[in-house]
Amino acid sequence: MDNRGKKSTFSLIEELAISAVSFNAASKEDVSRLGEQLKNFEETAEKEGFSAIGEAVPLITEVISFLSTDNPEVFRELLFCWIALIQEALASPDAHSIDSAQFSEGIKKQFSEIIVRMERQNKPAQEPPDFVPQVPVLDLSEGPAILQEFVTESTDHLENAEESLLTLESSPGNLKEIDKIFRSFHTIKGMASFLNLEDIRILSHDTETMMDFVRKGTMALKEDITGAILQSIDAMRRLLGLLKEQVGLNGVLKNPYFDISPLIRKMRDIIRAGQAAGAPAPAKRIGDILIEKDIISEQELSAALKQQEFGEAKKIGEILVGMGAATPAQLERGLAEQKAITVAGEAIKISVKKLDDLVDTMGELVIAGTQVIHHPEISALEDTRLRKEIAQLDRIIRDVQNISMAVRLMPIRPVFQKMTRLARDLSQKASKKIEVRVSGEDTEVDKNITELISDPLVHMVRNAIDHGIEPLALRRERGKPDTGTISLNAYHKGGSIIVELADDGGGLDKEKIFKRAIERGLAGQGENLSDEQIHRFIFEPGFSTADQVTDVSGRGVGMDVVKRNIEQLQGRIEIQTQYGQGTKFSIRLPLTLAIIEGIVIGVGGERYILPIFAVLEFICPKSEDISTVANKGELIMAHGKLFPIVRLDRFFNVRYRSETIEEMTGCLVNSDYGQICILIDELIGQQQVVIKNLGEYLKGTKGLSGATILGDGRVGLILDVNSIAGLARQQERSKVF
């Protein structure tokens, strides 16, 4: 027997587990569907050779008819227990040869223990034994793959639980999110139990128990429970990190083991309070929920119930929609409040290295395809059929390129979720009331970008909380609400992704920044700088206007890191601020780090690429438009404004072919130091280019961010506009121009 049957049976038990989480004993449809799933599972298990497992199905089907409605909580516990035992049995290497009688007796024994425990639930609970941390003893005889998979899957479950918990803080009654958290810890517990990871099993079990009280309505999701669950998530991550370390060092731990005893005691205190609270209130009916929301009247509900009583074979919600008393959308929102709705999608996991290899190979294919398509001998051919086939080949390459790029795209949600959690913790530490508003979290970006953008956003969120959002007294003095607001937003625009971080705090103090810049020698006394240029001083290394250093920020080692990381991503950052009102940082990034849209330009015999997001427009310069100002170098007049001129021959030791300014082309570009005009010999065209590293020898060359291979096989250097503008500004201040 191969593994295909086992996989099929295992997938059916996973479907049963999902149905069990949202099972409603009062729903005939749920009871019927569960019965059909169990029958299908029994037949498949028998067919694929899992005889003992198939014969165990009647043990749970026998109790559906009476326990599911008469005592739904007992039935739910029995169902979860049965599923866990089946999953454990399927994971066993001898799953096909389990003794039927022994397996059934084990299930019956577990059922008896659950029933006795549930009957004693209202009696004073016995104190559980003191928790003693247990460093796991790993069995690595069959390789580390299963433990590594456990760490990966558990990390995903923790991220989902954290996201749902933060959502619940703003919508406490969302049963869908409550069930997500419960299901995440329930799954981790089952996997940890199978791998004999006792600390993780106990921690996930106690967290699951707390969430069960919330799910049943016995306890409200208040600050103590929310805080305990967040601490549990953090503790679980530390345990998983140690487990990963232990796997990598063949069972040896480099760091001391993490003691979760205080957290276990805290959670068990909450559990005891939940046990003392008693049974939950019965679940609300959909009609009552719609009345509470003023969607329907009691008379309309009464009329719908009469229709159902006199033979209308529909659910009450469907009847209300048919009557016109409620819309389908209103009914759906009511049902979402009544019970959790879960949808399982199909997906596979693939290593990041394989994705990177795919994208690198795709880049080589794009280069090779471009070289073939633009080969002089092929371009000279007049064969219509060949031209048509080459055009088709080009379209296919572009389609495969887009697909390979899309594979690496992922929502920015995990990054925003991390920032929301960070803001929550820091606001409590700073004793400030802060609300985090998130939008555009489903915007997809390259996975590498989500990893690299995280650190800059951490610095910016910390600054916004520590320096941006004012103390309560000052906010009231300025007529602002007590609760400060930090907004995170992401969206696509013009082939780029924009990530915005805004706060309604005090804004940037231009005068204070300029004064500190003069003290640091970054600006001269009386120098005429625009607001944008002054604001950009905050990105200089070691620059800070903080009067007091805190353990959160104020040392001037944050915003320069932000700028450096964003430049590594081929992006730029813009500032909009109003003193006393707030600040917004807008980060513009490419959709992917592998391929960019660029403008190919020629200077002398060399080819360079300007990233298209930095280009404003091209102009035809004239001699009369150029002037020279002391300490400012050459300036060109365009659209009634003066722009500094940058000549690339002074940076890259090349000679212009053009002998007069009229023969050249001016390219107006945006930079961190304002708008500048780069003079070039010719504008060759626009194309997508595959970014290549410069290598160790040229790594760190100022003015360049990478290289590419053009269609004619020549190497083109990708210009770093910010670096070039910064070098030009230094030359101006040094009077080199």
Q: What are the C-alpha distances in Å from 441 to residues 36, 185, 460, 566, 628?
A: 38, 24, 18, 19, 48
Return the pLDDT at 83: 83
Return the pLDDT at 277: 57
Report which of 691, 671, 678, 680 is spatially closest to residue 598, judged by C-alpha positions. 691
The count of C-alpha atoms lying within 13 angstroms of the C-alpha of 380, restricted to the half-sphere facing its C-beta, is 3
First to last CA, the chain: 80
Residue 40: pLDDT over 70:
yes
- Identify residue 576 by its one-letter amino acid code: Q
Output the six-digit token pair for 670: 């945006």
Return the pLDDT at 282: 46
Q: Which residues have CB under 8 Å from 91's CB, separation 6+?
A: 194
The count of C-alpha atoms lying within 13 angstroms of the C-alpha of 393, restricted to the half-sphere facing its C-beta, is 15
User: For helices 223-248 and 261-277, what crossing angle results, to 10°?
Assistant: 140
Q: CB–CB of 369/393 below 8 Å?
A: yes
Question: What percentage of residues in the chain have a pLDDT greater than 90?
Answer: 4
Q: What are the C-alpha distances in Å from 344 to residues 14, 40, 347?
A: 10, 18, 10
Q: Which residues have CB under 8 Å from 581's CB, separation 6+?
A: 504, 507
Distance CA 300, CA 329 (A): 18
Residue 3: pLDDT over 50:
no
Return the pLDDT at 441: 84
Return the pLDDT at 501: 92
Residue 29: pLDDT over 90:
no
Residue 129: pLDDT over 90:
no
Most distant CA pair in the chain: distance in Å? 100
- Give the pLDDT confidence of 233-252 residue by residue, as tens digits: 988 998 888 888 888 777 77
H/E run at residue 669: strand 665-671
Return the pLDDT at 736: 40
Return the pLDDT at 491: 87
Bridge pairing between strands 674-680 and 582-590: unpaired
Average pLDDT score, the chain:
78
- Identify residue 451 by its one-letter amino acid code: E
Average pLDDT over residues 68-97: 76
Distance CA 687, CA 375 (A): 16
Residue 253: pLDDT over 90:
no
Report which of 503, 424, 500 is spatially closest to residue 456, judged by C-alpha positions. 500
Distance CA 19, CA 43 (A): 18
Distance CA 282, CA 193 (A): 32
Distance CA 115, CA 99 (A): 25
Return the pLDDT at 664: 92
Q: CB–CB of 512/579 below 8 Å?
A: no
| Residue 255 three-state SS | coil
Among 63-72, 137-146, 442-451, 608-617, which stretch is predicted with the lowest mean pLDDT?
63-72
Distance CA 400, CA 402 (A): 5
Give the pLDDT band of residue 489 (cuts 50, 70, 90): very high
pTM above 0.75, yes or no: no
CA 210, 214, 217, 220 dihedral sign is positive
Report which of 594, 694, 698, 570 is spatially closest to residue 367, judged by C-alpha positions. 594
CA dihedral angle for residue 167, residue 169, residue 173, residue 174, rounded to 10 degrees: 10
The count of C-alpha atoms lying within 13 angstroms of the C-alpha of 256, restricted to the half-sphere facing its C-beta, is 3
Alpha helix segments (H runs only) across 343-443: 352-373, 376-380, 384-407, 413-429
Average pLDDT over residues 299-325: 72
Average pLDDT over residues 265-291: 69
Output the six-digit token pair for 237: 């991550």
Q: CB–CB of 504/582 below 8 Å?
A: yes
Burial of 434-451, coded b for 16+ CB within 10 Å and e otherwise, reads bebebebbebbbbbbbbe
Residue 509: pLDDT over 60:
yes
Q: Could you give the strand order of the β-sheet that contains 484-493, starting from the edge strand earlier in sequence?
A: 434-439, 484-493, 496-503, 582-590, 572-578
Average pLDDT over residues 571-576: 84
